[in-house]
Amino acid sequence: MTERGELLARLGRLRRAQLGDVRAPHKPLLLLWLFGRFAATGSSATSYAELEEPVSRLINDFGPPVRSRAREQQRAAMPFVHLERDLWLVRDAAGVELGANTPERRSWLTDRGAVGQLRPEVEQLLAAPGTLAAAARLLLDQHFTPTLAELVCAEVGLDVAAMEVAAGAGRPARPRRGGFAEEVLRAYAYSCAMCGFDGALGRNPVGIEAAHVRWHSQDGPDELENAVALCALHHALLDLGVLGLTEDRRVRVSDLYVARSDAGRAVDALADRPLRVPRPEHRVVAEGFIAWHGRQVFRAAA
């Protein structure tokens, strides 16, 4: 792998990673953590023991929920072992390279002092102006929503926008159906379908956004059946899995959500509130997209 285009194409093929019918952003999150490490130190080398906690936390926060506390604590083992070997080297403490059939077990990896590093040719490409930013942006756009992308970058220490500016590269436009956002906002009369917020500055609505229920990055279509108008706060909470929808289109609030102030507890007041329906000529959110969000994003308590 000697060209930037080859590297980006290889990263792009991680897009379809799934465990059964559940999205699996484990490898992209490991890579983004490694990119942050590379940006800070000039090297991606790390032991499994060092990355287990921060990468497992990333997967817990930004991947699908799991019901097992033990799995939450060691979710980094899967991408550490199975990240494609044309990108990634794994060795034991003696320097012996480990294959892709290495056991996906925390104890096995820590007992042998397993160490991983992006291949030298990959690091060399990432060191070229603009490549690290392009690689990070590709992974963020293909696996997350814009709201989550900002949070992931903050967690891994990557300022992708600043890197793009420094490299003289603009952010590539994410393909959307023309007029989609305006169609959604108009269908819901420029108001939040959960709380009714309808703020405007003069004649211009503010803080109201077109939210995909099934994420655009996960093949969610730009159609009204997959969209709802939400205020910026409730859009972010929907993407984070704090809020969800029932089959009969009522608002769900995660049992894991906690708040100390009256303003924060206002989110709890949304529970079981019916989602506002769009104007009569438009379709409501389809059950299939609601089910996807409930399975892949919503943070239900065990």
Using one digit for the tens of pLDDT, what is the confidence trace for 102-156? Answer: 898 899 999 999 999 999 999 999 999 899 999 999 999 999 998 899 899 999 9
Q: Look at the block and give the residue holding tokens 């983004």.
A: 32
The yes-or-no verdict on residue 269 having pLDDT over 70 is yes
User: Is 123 found in the same domain as 16?
Assistant: yes
Helices 4-12 and 131-143 pack at an angle, to 10 degrees, of 20
How high is the pLDDT of residue 170? 56
Spatial separation of the C-alpha atoms in residues 45 and 224, rounded to whole Å: 45
User: Is 227 found in the same domain as 278?
Assistant: yes
Q: Could you tell me the residue range of the domain that residue 242 belongs to?
A: 180-296
Reported confidence tier of residue 21, pLDDT bands at 50, 70, 90: confident
How large is the average pLDDT for residues 255-284? 94
The yes-or-no verdict on residue 296 having pLDDT over 70 is yes
Q: Please say which residue of 131, 166, 201 terminates a domain.
A: 166
Task: Give 280-289's long-range contacts (Cβ < 8 A, gap of 24+).
Answer: 282/187, 282/224, 283/224, 283/225, 284/225, 284/249, 285/213, 285/225, 285/226, 285/227, 285/228, 285/245, 285/249, 286/225, 286/226, 287/247, 289/213, 289/214, 289/220, 289/225, 289/226
Smallest CA-to-CA distance from 133 within 275, 4, 280 is with 4
Reported confidence tier of residue 81, pLDDT bands at 50, 70, 90: very high
Close Cβ partners of 225 (under 8 Å, ≥ 6 residues apart): 283, 284, 285, 286, 289
Q: Please say which residue of 133, 166, 199 terminates a domain.
A: 166
User: Is 226 found in the same domain as 92?
Assistant: no
The yes-or-no verdict on residue 301 having pLDDT over 70 is yes
Instruction: Report if residue 174 sits inside a domain.
Output: no
| 3-class SS of residue 244 | strand
Instruction: Return the CA Rg of the chain.
Output: 21
How high is the pLDDT of residue 167? 76
Burial class (CB in 10 A: 0-12, 13-18, 19+), 232: middle
Instruction: Report if residue 29 sits inside a domain.
Output: yes
Half-sphere exposure of 111 (CA within 13 A, CB side): 7
User: Is 184 found in the same domain as 158?
Assistant: no
The yes-or-no verdict on residue 36 having pLDDT over 90 is yes
User: Is 136 found in the same domain as 54?
Assistant: yes
Reported confidence tier of residue 84, pLDDT bands at 50, 70, 90: very high
Reported confidence tier of residue 177, pLDDT bands at 50, 70, 90: confident
Residue 95's identity, in one-letter code, is G
Instruction: Report if residue 49 sits inside a domain.
Output: yes
Q: Please say which residue of 132, 166, 200 terminates a domain.
A: 166
Q: Which of 98-102, 178-182, 188-192 has the highest mean pLDDT?
A: 188-192
Instruction: Report if residue 175 sits inside a domain.
Output: no
- How many Cβ atoms sit within 10 Å of the Cβ of residue 95? 7
Tens of pLDDT along 201-248?
A: 988 899 999 999 999 989 899 999 999 999 999 999 999 999 999 999
Look at the chain and report how many structural domains it folds into: 2
Instruction: Report if residue 171 sits inside a domain.
Output: no
User: Is 147 found in the same domain as 93?
Assistant: yes
Share of the chain above pLDDT 70, in %: 92
Compare 39 and 281 and report the one with higher pLDDT: 39
Q: If you average pLDDT over every residue of the chain, what do you get?
A: 90
How high is the pLDDT of residue 239? 96
Instruction: Report if residue 301 sits inside a domain.
Output: no
User: Is 156 found in the same domain as 9?
Assistant: yes
Task: Give 11-19's long-range contacts (Cβ < 8 A, gap of 24+).
Answer: 11/87, 11/135, 11/138, 11/139, 12/138, 12/142, 14/84, 14/139, 14/142, 15/142, 15/143
User: Is 219 found in the same domain as 101?
Assistant: no
How large is the average pLDDT for residues 251-256? 96
User: Is 187 found in the same domain as 160?
Assistant: no
How large is the average pLDDT for residues 9-31? 82
Half-sphere exposure of 1 (CA within 13 A, CB side): 22
The yes-or-no verdict on residue 91 having pLDDT over 60 is yes
How high is the pLDDT of residue 166? 78
User: Is 28 found in the same domain as 151?
Assistant: yes
